Amino acid sequence: MTETMQRIVLASRPVGSPKPENFRLESTDIPTPADGEVVVKLHYMSLDPYMRGRMDDAKSYAAPVPVGGTMEGGSVGEVIASNSDKFAVGDFAFGMFGWATHGCLPASEMQKLNPAHGPIKSALGVLGMPGFTGWLGLNKYGRPQSGETLVVAAATGPVGQMVGQLAKLKGLRVVGIAGGAEKCALAVEKFGFDACLDHRAYSDAKSLRGALKDACPDGIDIYYENVAGKVLDAVLPMMNVAGRIPICGMIAWYNPDASMLDGPDNLPKMWRSILVKRLSVNGFIIFDHNDRYVEFLKEVGPMVATGKIAVVEDIVEGLENAPKAFMGLLEGKNMGKLMVKIS
């Protein structure tokens, strides 16, 4: 008897914010691994803002998920069948298996995990793509110098956690922006940020900027961009000469219907800031930098193991709850790195 698995497919493309009807839970047979392939029973799955982009068919750095296709995403689990000599049953692995209870990939696209080095779900967050994104963007494009001031939004998200804590360790003043008093308290008390502003407490960019001026008396040298919108508008005039803006995301603008609601009111103003302040603005996609992943693990792994870098995760139970959790993520409802516990 063939065993069945569950998966979540893209039922239709969202217009604006994703709605429950854009997703569909399906049952299907667990695949039999072809030559070189491995089947994994998934334990934890990651939910990340970039997935919103995959739901559109706009030209991007990655192909869109086709309608009817399994939603894309990274997950970790245990090998239950292998047709490759690189993985044995019982091994643990990470791969882009999609939103599903089981996944099948060529061994060459999977990464073996050693549970002795810490919980395997770390490969989805602090020691996975989000943590690596924070580390790479901060170091390569942010070029932090002791004594400077860094601002990062989504401060308690998995990227913000990493960016802020690494910057603190390098001697910067770190100011977070987050949604709600509870997240702000977490940023300061758990992650050691110097200050964290609740963007919900400020009705517009101007009032948020007023609060930022108090929190950043020497201006802003690095704005680690992951949200855009109102925060970008508030931050931009406060950038110091020779400031740096690494861009790894723009969550406020992922839903196109929101695109003009917030943000600097015109592009010439932004372009002028880049020129006049001699800013360095760099977009980057973490998948371009895989050659530095081992360097990241070597540097940050021990920091996590010793507690120098704190970790907060938000774990939702059950694959069927992934769409709701993902919609909440885009509204900032999660507290820390969002994952789904599958089995």
- Interface pick for a second copy out of 88, 271, 317, 331 (rule CB under 8 A): 271
In this complex, which beta carbon is closest to a second copy, that of residue 183 or of residue 244? 244
Does 145 sit near a second copy (CB under 8 A)?
A: no
In this complex, which beta carbon is closest to a second copy, that of residue 80 or of residue 274? 274
What's the min distance (Å) between Cβ of 62 and a second copy?
A: 9
Does 137 sit near a second copy (CB under 8 A)?
A: no
- Interface pick for a second copy out of 2, 266, 290, 306 (rule CB under 8 A): 266
**Which residues ranging from 41 to 80 are in contact with a second copy (CB under 8 A)?**
59-61
| x/- letters, 277..316, toward a second copy (CB under 8 A) | xxxxxxxxx--x----------------------------
What's the min distance (Å) between Cβ of 135 and a second copy?
A: 17
SS (H, E, C) the chain: CCCEEEEEEECCCCCCCCCHHHEEEEEEECCCCCCCEEEEEEEEEECCCHHHHHCCCCCCCCCCCCCCCECCCCEEEEEEEECCCCCCCCCEEEECCCCECEEEEEHHHCEEECHHHCCHHHHHCCCCHHHHHHHHHHHHHHCCCCCCEEEEECCCCHHHHHHHHHHHHCCCEEEEEECCHHHHHHHHHCCCCCEEEEHHHCCCHHHHHHHHHHHCCCCEEEEEECCCHHHHHHHHHHEEEEEEEEECCCHHHCCHHHCCCCCCCCHHHHHHHHHHCCCEEEECCHHHHHHHHHHHHHHHHHHHHCCCCCCCEEEEECHHHHHHHHHHHHCCCCCCEEEEECC
What's the min distance (Å) between Cβ of 94 and a second copy?
A: 24
- Interface pick for a second copy out of 131, 137, 263, 332 (rule CB under 8 A): 263
- Interface pick for a second copy out of 24, 259, 293, 310 (rule CB under 8 A): 259
**Which residues ranging from 193 to 252 are in contact with a second copy (CB under 8 A)?**
228, 232, 241-242, 247-250
- Interface pick for a second copy out of 66, 276, 317, 324 (rule CB under 8 A): 276
Does 257 sit near a second copy (CB under 8 A)?
A: no
Binding site for a second copy (CB under 8 A): 59-61, 228, 232, 241-242, 247-250, 253, 259-260, 263-264, 266-268, 270-285, 288
